[in-house]
Structure 1
Amino acid sequence: MEKHTAGPSGLRASDADRDRIAQILSDALAEGRLTSEEHSERLDTLYAVKTVGELDLLVRDLPADTGGRRPATPATPVAATATAAGGPVETVVAVCSSSARKGRWRPGARTRAVSVMGDITIDLSEAVFEQQVTEITVTSVLGNVEVLVPENVTLRGYGSGVLGNFEVRGEGAAADPQAPVVIVRGFALLGNIEARPKRGFRLVDLAARLRKKLD
């Protein structure tokens, strides 16, 4: 029987592949190569497509030094993720307990939250963002997870629930194209996941700080 092997562009996209493309889009937004609307549209598509080739289409009109395809290899998925995301994944766990991240803290580019019959609060309303895109992956089993963000950031949600609830309120693009993007991806089984802006909390001079960091 003939064995069919998919070419590089037909390979299923990994988390590391998506992180790489998200970083390219973030850089393009910061450099003024994409408008905030274009960035939002491509970011939405980023998590909908399935193959490496489809991901590459999102950055084919960006500079070759950042937009060129660099397929991830099975030998280095952790290294690729750390490079694209700017650091390791922070994990927040609550098993029959509660856990919180709040106040003046510096969230990494990727955070994983797991709640099993527990409560987790991830409050970004006073956080210091050091990257354009912050992604939070949530799993809730008979638990409750709440994600709070400042009113003037771009909030995106991709998730579902089975006998549970996944809800992102206030989803949309911020007026300032330099404002950070918070992506919440989650799955709730007999649990609840909710992400929303925290009323009365806005980031101040964030765009200027991000621009200075990128210079």
Structure 2
Amino acid sequence: MSDGGTPRLRASDDDRRRVAAALSDAFARGQLDYGELDARTEQVWSARYRDELFAPLSDLLPDPARILEDRAPAPRPRTAPRSPRAGAETARQQVTGEPGGQSLTFSLLGMSQKRGDWLCSPTHHTTAMLGSTVIDLRLARLTCAETTINAFGVLGAVEILVPEDVLVIGDGYGVLGAFEVTEDKKVTVAQRDLPADAPVVRVRGLGLLGSVGIRRVPRESGD
């Protein structure tokens, strides 16, 4: 019960999708950075009651409650030229729900790669120390809809290739090095145009005298 005696309403997945989509729009407008989007999206998907969904939007919209007033199906983002709907279906098929998966990629004075058809665990750790690692997710199978990659480039370079129909959230730092999210010039689908239920890849890490680079690429790209 609320303080006024009115029963609190449980949040539905459609409610959560609406708020998550509003957060994605705020990110596209520059109101949130990657880390804030990550934290608030986690808050939304862990909310049990509808009134708990208003807090993540409280400093973004004048009246957050209006997001949930329209009970029609949650609107999909604007379509991009290459039909994000079709691309989103491909991305969803990439999430197989298989157990296990590979959880580590490490290089020391050399190079390690994960390419082609491979199963990525829900949390993957990659470190390049005086070497380089490449994590290519274009043909990889994902065990769940949200994948976390912890990446560390220490006097080395980590490159993570993410297909453009998967949402990328980067949260990291460069210390005398670099941590950055970039897009291939052939990418045609903006992150803001992805549906709220698109798979998510969160990259957390550090470039210490090295680099961590996350690059959005077309699925058909061979680079």
- Asked if TM exceeds 0.5, the reply is yes
Q: 1:111-190 to 2 correspondence within 5 Å? A: 111-170=124-183, 172-173=191-192, 175-190=194-209
**Which SS does the other structure have where 1:161 is aligned?**
strand
Greater relative CO (CA pairs within 8 A, separation 6+): 2
Q: Identity over aligned residues, as a percent? A: 32
Please list every run of 5 or more consecutive structure 2 residues that lacks an aligned counterpart in the other structure.
1-10, 51-98, 184-189
Note the C-alpha offset of 1:194: 0.4
Equivalent residue for 2:21? 37
Higher-Rg member (1/2): 2
The CA deviation string for residues 171-200 of structure 1, in whole angstroms up to 9 with x for no partner, is: 834523332111111101110110011235
Q: What amino acid maps onto 2:196 in structure 1?
A: P
Kept in 2, the 8 Å contact 1:153–1:174? The answer is: no
Aligned-partner Cα distance in 2 for 1:107–1:97: 22
Kept in 2, the 8 Å contact 1:160–1:187? The answer is: yes
Note the C-alpha offset of 1:60: 4.2
Does residue 105 of the first structure (1) align with residue 118 of the second (2)?
yes
Equivalent residue for 1:61? 49
Aligned-partner Cα distance in 2 for 1:89–1:59: 30
Alpha-carbon spacing, 1:55–1:161, altered in 2? closer, same or farther (3 Å): same
**Which SS does the other structure have where 2:21 is aligned?**
helix
Aligned-partner Cα distance in 1 for 2:201–2:155: 24
Q: What amino acid maps onto 1:59 in structure 2?
A: A
How many residues were matched structurally? Answer: 149
**What's the TM-score, normalizing by structure 1?**
0.58
Note the C-alpha offset of 1:57: 10
Kept in 1, the 8 Å contact 2:103–2:123? The answer is: yes
Alpha-carbon spacing, 1:193–1:47, altered in 2? closer, same or farther (3 Å): same
Equivalent residue for 1:71? none
Which consecutive aligned stretches of 4+ in structure 1 deviate over 4 angstroms post-superposition?
A: 38-44, 46-49, 54-58, 86-89
Kept in 1, the 8 Å contact 2:35–2:171? The answer is: no
Kept in 2, the 8 Å contact 1:120–1:146? The answer is: yes
